Amino acid sequence: IDVASRRIAEEKQLAEEQRLAEEARMAKEERLAEEARIAERQAELKQRSLLEARLAIDIKSRRIAEEQRLAEEARTAERQRELKQRSLLEAKLAIDMKSRRIAGEQRLAKEARTAER
């Protein structure tokens, strides 16, 4: 009886140790699975952050390119305005020179008529 009682007690102790070992193994697996989920979520967040940073860079690059395009258009418009202004001044100068030449010719003609009299 004593041997049988001891054997039963040993089997109960072994079963309890196995149950505790199984619980510990399951708890460890759950902890590892949770750590894996956390690491995966952190990786997703980092990936998202990276994509958002790239998007922000792309938006800023496009904005800079648009500002550069607008600045170039403004410079081109200014150059065209300057060329038109120069062309207008040249036309005014040509008109002035022609007017002076005509006035000079009219004066010479008048002097010639006056001299003929």
Can you tell me the distance from the alpha carbon of 28 to that of 20, in angstroms, rounded to the nearest whole number?
12
| Residue 117 confidence (pLDDT) | 80
- Residue type at 100? R
| pLDDT tens for each residue of the chain, 117 residues long | 789 999 999 999 999 999 999 999 999 999 999 999 999 999 999 999 999 999 999 999 999 999 999 999 999 999 999 999 999 999 999 999 999 999 999 999 999 999 988
Can you tell me the distance from the alpha carbon of 46 to that of 56, in angstroms, rounded to the nearest whole number?
15
> pTM value?
0.53
Transcribe 44-110 into DSSP letters: HHHHHHHHHHHHHHHHHHHHHHHHHHHHHHHHHHHHHHHHHHHHHHHHHHHHHHHHHHHHHHHHHHH
Specify the residue for token string 């994509």: 51
